Every structure is written in structure tokens, then in C-alpha cells.
Structure 1
Amino acid sequence: MRITATVHHEPGRHEVTVATDGRETELELPARDDGPGSAVSGGELLAAALATCFLDDLHREAGRRGIEIGAVEVVVESEYGDRGVPARDLTYEVRVRSRADAGLVADLARETDLLAEVHATLRAACDVELRSVQISAP
């Protein structure tokens, strides 16, 4: 699987396109109001990438195991310091609505954390911690 992301920016124009094996999707990310560049930072996109990866993989793994899940919310937080310094304290929380056994869903979330490819990529260079999993009935 080949994934690409392209950002094209010029005065009055800001376009972001992502693609997997040539299947393109355009993202709506605005330009900054106060100067050139994107209104969304790379750190914010990294957080969104982690949240999206976990969400997609949780649904994939739930389907493989026959576990029905409903709403899912993933909140990623990170701390950045001075310019050029990598993020630290990268954590995320997961909230899942499901009629399935809460222990089963929590195990699914923990297993998904270990399988999530974006997480694995970052963990090769820095720690990523699943801080909590919250389960509630619909």
C-alpha cells in the first residue's frame, strides 16, 4: 500500500490531497488568515492521523471479531516545545459506545492499539501511550 499526501499552497489557494494506491481524496484545510501556510499545523495533522488510524483499525478489528460497536471518539494530545523539538507526552483516549461486553471492547481497544500502523511507525522513534479507554452503552 502506497500512501501519499500533497499540500499545494500559493496566495489565494491552499489544497491538500491524500492518496492510497492512487485513490485520491481532497481534504478541506484552509490557508492561514494571518499569513502564508496552512491554518492547520503538522502537529495537529499528526494528532488527527493517530486518531483516524485508531478509529479505522478499531472498526476493522471489531468487524473481524464480530464485535458490534457504535459511536467512537478518539482524543489525541501532545506537547510541543521549542521550534524543531519533537513532540513529547503523546497520549490518546478512546470512548466507545457498544452493547457488547465492556471488557471485550476494552480488550479490542488495547489490541487495536498494538496493531495501529501509524502508532507503530511513531513508536519506532518515540513512545505513544494509550492513556485510557472509556466504554458506555448507547
Structure 2
Amino acid sequence: MKISASIKSSFQLHEVNVETENNKKSISISPKTEGYGSSINGGELLFLSLATCFCNDLYREAAKRNIKIDTAEIIVSGEFGSEGEPAKNIIYKVQIQAKKHSDAQICDLIEKVDKIAEIHNTLRQGINVTLIK
């Protein structure tokens, strides 16, 4: 599955687009108040990526098990230090309401998704990011 993301930025313009297998979508993110760049930072998007991946995988795996989730909340947090330093202490918490299912079923589902979530596994294993000039 080929995925890409792009940003076009100039004064008071911040266009964000993502694409998966030719399915293009725009995301509305305002420019910074001073006019250039994004009003949200990469760390926020990274943590949102973790939460989004877990959420989507959670619903997919729940459907396989015939588990009806009423509500899911995924909260990701961590710390960034000085410029250029990677994140540290990334943690996440998952809360699920599923009235018709036992705590054991929900716990098993959460553990399964934690093991297969692709963004989580990418960060856990590390990957090279290459600049092409």
C-alpha cells in the first residue's frame, strides 16, 4: 500500500494533502498566526498518527471478533526535548466502552491491537528516513 503526504506552504497558505493508493484527501490545518508554517507541530501529528492507527485497527479487530464498541478514547502523550532530539516517554492509554462484552474480552482486544498497530510497530522497530535531493 503506497501512502504519501504533502504540504504546500506560503504566507497565509497551508495546504495539507494525504493519499493512499490514489485515494486523495485534504486535511484542514491553519497556518501559524504569523502566516508561515503549520499551526500544529510534527510531534502533535506524530501522536495523532499513533492514536489514529490504534483507533482504526481497534475497530477492524473488534469487527472480526463481533465486538460492538460503543465508545473508544485513545490518548497519546510524550516529551520532546531540544531541537533535533527525538521523542521520549511516549505512552498511550485506551478506554473502551462496550456494554455487551466482558472486561477480559476488551483487554484481549486492546492487547491484540497493540501488537499489530503498524505505526506503533514502525516506531518500536525504527526505520530509516532518507532525504532525496
Report the Cα offset of residue 36 of structure 1. Answer: 1.6
Contact 2:68/2:98, CA 8 A, preserved across alignment: yes
The CA deviation at 1:34 is 2.8
Q: Any residues of structure 2 matched to 1:1-138 within 5 Å, and which?
A: 1-99=1-99, 100-125=101-126
Q: Which runs of 4+ in 1 moved over 4 A?
A: none
Unaligned runs of 5+ in 2: 128-133
DSSP-derived class of the 1:9 partner: strand
TM-score, normalised with respect to structure 1: 0.88
Inter-partner Cα distance in structure 2 for 1:97 and 1:34:
41
TM-score, reference length from structure 2: 0.91
**Which has the bigger relative contact order, CA under 8 A and spacing at least 6?**
1
1:84: Cα distance to partner?
0.1
- The size of the alignment, in residue pairs, is 126
Partner of 1:47, secondary structure, is helix
What amino acid is aligned across from residue 46 of structure 1 in structure 2?
Answer: L
Tell me which residue corresponds to 1:134.
none
Task: Work out the CA distance in 2 between the residues paired with 1:36 and 1:28.
Answer: 15
Q: CA RMSD in A?
A: 1.2
